[in-house]
Amino acid sequence: MFDAKEYDEWYEKHRDLYNAELNALRDVVKKYPSPKLEIGVGTGRFAAPLRIEYGIDIDESMLKFAEQRGVKVTKAPAEKLPFPDRYFYMVLVCTTLPFLQDARKAMAEAHRVLRDDGGIVIAFIPADSYFGRKYRKYADDGDIRFRDAHFYTMDDVEQLLEDMFYIVWVRSTLIGTPPSLNTEEGYVPEASFVVVEGRKI
């Protein structure tokens, strides 16, 4: 479990990386009308600047930060969203995949709460990237924050979305070792932050 204050302060200490991630997301998120939801909203570091109104998380201390940033928060797991069918135009899952209990079920729930013309946006740290390797080493060294984390490859994400969403757009940033702030359209294998947009099937 992450300490909410320590987690939130990471973004201040690494503002260049944070801004690169935000910029990679901004175009795709803003094209969807409201309402929007972030699954695993954390402290609201993405939902608030991207104007995503709703956020769920299982960590109450994180949710307090997000609420202070103006996000309408609910304590709930990704696998059981407390919202009606076809309610949102967009669902964001940002760096949350490794910590989901059942990622496939979470994708099914996102599919359920999305309108027929809605989209899912997944931003993830690939398992074979600079940061993916770094965080997996933390787990191997006994860091309890990453002990149960499962990092995904691009192929894994495609399989997660299979039969529910088709991928329409991909963007990569934080490319290389150490990561640069460059952003490229499409999937770049050396990228530590990849954004995938999917539409409902």
Residue 52 host element (H or E):
none
More confident residue, 40 or 147: 40
- Judge whether residue 8 has pLDDT over 80: yes
Model confidence pLDDT, tens digit, residues 14-32: 999 999 999 999 999 999 9
What per-residue confidence (pLDDT) applies to 49? 98
* Residue numbers of the domain that contains 63: 4-200
- Judge whether residue 63 has pLDDT over 80: yes
Contacting residues for 5 by C-beta, under 8 A, at least 6 apart: none
What per-residue confidence (pLDDT) applies to 145? 86
How much is the mean pLDDT over the chain? 96
Model confidence pLDDT, tens digit, residues 170-185: 999 999 999 999 999 9
CA-based torsion, 31, 153, 155, 158: positive or negative: negative
**Cα 29 off chain centre by:** 12
What per-residue confidence (pLDDT) applies to 147? 84
What per-residue confidence (pLDDT) applies to 68? 98
Expressed in angstroms, the distance from the first to the final Cα of the chain is: 34
pLDDT average, residue stretch 38-43? 98
What per-residue confidence (pLDDT) applies to 52? 98
**Number of structural domains found in the chain:** 1
Q: Are strands 191-200 and 180-185 parallel, antiparallel or unpaired?
A: unpaired
Model confidence pLDDT, tens digit, residues 141-150: 888 888 889 9
- Judge whether residue 1 has pLDDT over 80: no
CATH number of the domain bearing residue 45: 3.40.50.150
- Judge whether residue 108 has pLDDT over 90: yes
- Report the percent of the chain where pLDDT is more than 90: 92
Which amino acid is present at 127? A
- Judge whether residue 2 has pLDDT over 90: no
